[in-house]
């Protein structure tokens, strides 16, 4: 077998391994929100072994660039995890991808393939979340129902909430994977606003504030919800591994969406 044939065969094997790994993880994440660590150990181990084989038998293999790609991806993955912006499974997925594909195939613009996958994943999740939430909230408003009854928040926060959250009944908020976007308003402020007519119409319930940013761990915490409220604001707890699979496939097809967006802006 020629050198080119061997390189292509290794690429196909790695692409298949990473695809199966992310597909299995996506299924588990979507169904139970729990992913078996064996998925990452097997997928990342096999992918890393093929990368090591490729590096040993490829003339002039760019070891420094590959090492930098794995290192920066690991630092980014676990740094964001410790900040609570996404879960441990997301960090493990990104590291497994980096071990399997530290370098991008020749037809991809960005040399750091894992970063391209991450960028694609984040942008695809945003492109799904924002239009969906906005459409649901506009439909809610058009139906004549109030979006912010009992909510004390400036218009900027309300606008952001319409792009990232929806209103659901308390029972649904407890059962489905949502992060609560409401926190109780201080008692004195709540009372002052009710008496002074601040915010939207008073429904007799405790006033609440909007919390736009949630840590991943918030989903696992017990939700303290005022049952007297007909609806509460929540943001969907997105199964990010599903978007990692979509981001991986799009990156393999040569789409570095984040790079393209940045290029347009500058």
pLDDT for position 63: 93
pLDDT for position 104: 85
CA dihedral 123, 125, 131, 133 (to 10 degrees): -140
The Cα–Cα gap between 116 and 108 comes to 9
Q: How many CB atoms lie within 10 A of CB 187?
A: 10
DSSP 211: -
Output the CA–CA distances (angstroms, integers) from residue 259 to 80, 111, 119, in the order listed: 20, 11, 8
Q: What is the pLDDT along the chain (266 residues), one digit of tens a residue?
A: 555 677 788 999 999 999 999 999 999 988 888 899 999 999 999 999 999 999 998 888 899 999 999 999 999 988 888 877 778 889 999 999 999 999 988 777 778 899 999 999 999 999 999 999 999 999 999 998 888 988 888 889 999 999 999 998 888 877 777 888 887 777 655 444 444 444 444 444 578 888 877 665 555 555 567 677 788 899 887 788 999 999 999 999 988 877 777 777 77
Phi/psi at 36 (nearest 5 deg)? -65, 130
**Encoded tokens for 258:** 């984040």
- Would strands 182-184 and 208-210 be described as parallel, antiparallel, or unpaired? antiparallel
pTM, two decimals, is 0.80
Instruction: Kindly give, in sequence order, each residue whose CB lies less than 8 Å from that of residue 67, ignoring residues fewer than 6 positions away.
Output: 102
pLDDT for position 83: 79
pLDDT for position 187: 65
The Cα–Cα gap between 221 and 87 comes to 14
Secondary structure of residue 166 in the 3-state scheme: strand
> Starting from the edge strand earliest in sequence, which strands make up the sheet with 151-152, in order?
151-152, 208-210, 182-184
Helix (H) or strand (E) holding 152: strand 151-152
Q: pLDDT tens digits, residue range 40-78?
A: 999 999 999 999 999 998 888 899 999 999 999 999 988
Q: pLDDT tens digits, residue range 220-253?
A: 555 567 677 788 899 887 788 999 999 999 999 9
**Encoded tokens for 142:** 């058009």
Helix (H) or strand (E) holding 235: strand 232-236
> How do the domains of the chain map onto residue ranges?
3-103, 127-236
DSSP 254: T
């Amino acid at each position: 077998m020629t050198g080119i044939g061997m390189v292509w065969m290794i690429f196909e094997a790695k692409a298949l391994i990473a695809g199966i790994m992310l597909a299995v993880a996506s299924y588990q994440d979507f169904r139970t929100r729990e992913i078996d660590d064996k998925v990452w150990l097997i997928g990342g181990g096999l992918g890393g072994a093929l990368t090591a084989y490729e590096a040993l038998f490829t003339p002039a293999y760019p070891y420094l660039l590959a090492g930098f790609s794995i290192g920066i991806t690991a630092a980014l993955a676990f740094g964001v995890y410790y900040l609570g912006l996404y879960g441990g499974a997301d960090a493990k997925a990104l590291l497994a991808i980096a071990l399997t594909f530290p370098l991008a195939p020749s037809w991809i613009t960005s040399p750091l393939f894992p970063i391209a996958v991450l960028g694609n994943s984040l942008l695809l999740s945003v492109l799904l979340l924002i239009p969906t939430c906005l459409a649901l909230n506009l439909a809610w408003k058009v139906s004549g129902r109030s979006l912010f009854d009992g909510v004390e928040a400036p218009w900027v926060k309300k606008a952001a909430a319409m792009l990232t959250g929806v209103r659901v009944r308390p029972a649904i908020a407890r059962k489905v994977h949502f992060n609560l976007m409401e926190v109780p308003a201080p008692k004195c402020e709540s009372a002052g606003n009710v008496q002074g007519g601040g915010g939207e119409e008073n429904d007799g319930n405790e006033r609440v504030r909007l919390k736009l940013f949630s840590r991943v761990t918030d989903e696992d915490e017990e939700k303290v919800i005022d049952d007297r409220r007909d609806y509460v604001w929540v943001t969907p707890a997105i199964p990010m591994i599903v978007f990692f699979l979509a981001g991986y496939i799009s990156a393999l097809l040569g789409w570095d969406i984040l790079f393209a967006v940045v290029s347009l802006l500058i």
